[in-house]
């Protein structure tokens, strides 16, 4: 006869939870070298999954050729441009540092008249220009050298990590290819786990997380690519030196939600200072068009990805970027979107219980 175990055995339940926690921690520790690449691959595959389905349909429903094409496209569109951007920055590190050091020896002329006439920011920019023009070489050197030292340290760090980052990118591509091939199996496993963990609401949260990832990929990444490409064209046509390097910097600033203005405005000033007002005016008009592009392109793309408040997405993007780095662009909006949806559903359930005295029915989830 089997011994009867009490249903509420505190020691047994506690030891079971501790054992499960130790197993989870051990698995995370073993997979720790692969986790960043796996997270990136998951984000990219989730964001581009509808496109992969369309490619598969064009190939007669064949999954493996479609997965191979998507992996190749990912390598060409995401990995190679980002690697070239980092490589361009690292290769031109010496020229950038020399140029920054040379700024302390420049003598700025008085600000042009058109600068004061700019709406909202004209007076402030003109005052800042006058302060820099009035400062001597020693004061300029004292202001710039701390930033130059930080920049040099950053370039040295990037040069040392470039090989590691390239391996990380290649691992991301390989894992993405596997996920493209076995996407439905992985998605079904996640949905079943969420259903087992939190019921139908957990399953709907997993679908919402995928929608938030697609919204960020469409709204933030695509907008950054379009803005940096257009800004790079303008810099190259205007004859700016190191146009490819400046384009790479603009792309990173656009990803960080700072926009192209920190690069385009100094470029316009540099053209006027060099005595080329025609191209300076052309680049100024082009910069205003490129800078205002995200005001309508990004909200439109985000709304296509998920029906979530734009403020929630922006807060998740910026907060996630500060908290977790580049990968936080996706983690931040996902966490805020799931939390916001669960909290709103919990509040609605409480209002329904207060008004009817009955528990609300479980929601019927639809396919994403």
Q: Where are the alpha helices (DSSP H) in the chain?
A: 10-31, 35-58, 63-74, 80-91, 93-103, 113-116, 122-134, 137-181, 183-216, 222-238, 243-255, 261-273, 277-291, 294-305, 310-324, 328-356
Residue 367: its pLDDT value, please? Answer: 43
Q: Which pLDDT does position 251 carry in this prediction? A: 81
Inter-residue contact 252 to 199 (CB < 8 Å): no
Q: Report the alpha-carbon distance of residue 124 to residue 108 in Å, rounded.
A: 17
Q: What are phi and psi of 55, to 5 degrees?
A: -65, -40
Torsion from C-alpha of 356, 360, 366, 368, nearest 10 degrees: 100
Ordered mean pLDDT values, 10 residues apiece, the chain (368 residues): 58 85 89 82 82 87 87 75 62 62 59 67 72 65 66 60 67 86 82 79 75 76 85 87 79 77 85 82 88 79 72 79 74 79 73 55 45
Contacts of 204 (CB under 8 A, 6+ apart): 341, 363, 365
- pLDDT score for 143: 65
Contacts of 284 (CB under 8 A, 6+ apart): 268
pLDDT at residue number 274: 79
* 159, 74, 247, 285 alpha-carbon torsion, rounded to 10°: -170
Where are the chain's structural domains? 33-181, 198-347
Per-residue DSSP letter, 218: I
What would you measure as the largest C-alpha separation in the chain, in angstroms?
98
Predicted confidence at residue 364, as pLDDT, reads 47
pLDDT of residue 362: 47
Alpha-carbon distance of 154 to 193, in angstroms, equals 41
Dist CA 176 CA 180 (whole Å): 6
pTM here is 0.59
């Amino acid at each position: 006869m089997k011994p009867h175990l009490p249903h509420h055995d505190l020691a047994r339940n506690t030891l079971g939870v501790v054992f499960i926690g130790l197993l989870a921690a051990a698995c995370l520790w073993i997979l720790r070298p692969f986790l960043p690449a796996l997270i990136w691959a998951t984000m990219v595959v989730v964001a581009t999954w509808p496109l992969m389905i369309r490619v598969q349909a064009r190939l007669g429903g064949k999954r493996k050729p479609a997965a191979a094409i998507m992996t190749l496209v990912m390598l060409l569109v995401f990995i190679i441009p980002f690697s070239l951007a980092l490589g361009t920055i690292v290769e031109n590190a010496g020229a950038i540092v020399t140029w920054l050091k040379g700024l302390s020896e420049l003598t700025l002329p008085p600000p042009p008249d058109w600068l004061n006439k700019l709406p909202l920011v004209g007076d402030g920019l003109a005052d800042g220009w006058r302060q820099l023009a009035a400062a001597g070489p020693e004061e300029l050197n004292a202001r710039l050298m701390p930033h130059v030292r930080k920049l040099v340290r950053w370039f040295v760090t990037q040069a040392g990590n470039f090989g590691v980052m390239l391996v990380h990118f290649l691992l991301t591509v390989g894992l993405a290819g596997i996920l493209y091939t076995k996407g439905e199996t992985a998605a079904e496993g996640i949905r079943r786990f969420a259903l087992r963990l939190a019921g139908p609401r957990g399953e709907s949260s997993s679908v919402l997380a995928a929608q938030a990832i697609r919204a960020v990929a469409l709204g933030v990444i695509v907008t950054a690519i379009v803005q940096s490409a257009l800004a790079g064209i303008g810099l190259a046509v205007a004859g700016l030196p190191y146009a490819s390097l400046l384009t790479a910097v603009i792309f990173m600033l656009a990803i960080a939600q700072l926009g192209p203005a920190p690069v385009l405005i100094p470029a316009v000033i540099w053209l006027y200072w060099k005595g080329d007002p025609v191209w300076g005016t052309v680049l100024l008009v082009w910069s205003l068009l490129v800078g205002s592009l995200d005001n309508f392109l990004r909200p439109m793309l985000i709304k296509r990805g998920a029906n979530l408040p734009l403020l929630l997405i922006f807060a998740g993007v910026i907060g996630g970027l500060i908290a977790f780095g580049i990968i936080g662009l996706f983690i931040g909006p996902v966490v805020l979107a799931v939390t916001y949806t669960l909290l709103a559903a919990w509040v609605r359930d409480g209002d329904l219980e207060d008004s009817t005295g009955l528990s609300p029915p479980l929601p019927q989830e639809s396919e994403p």
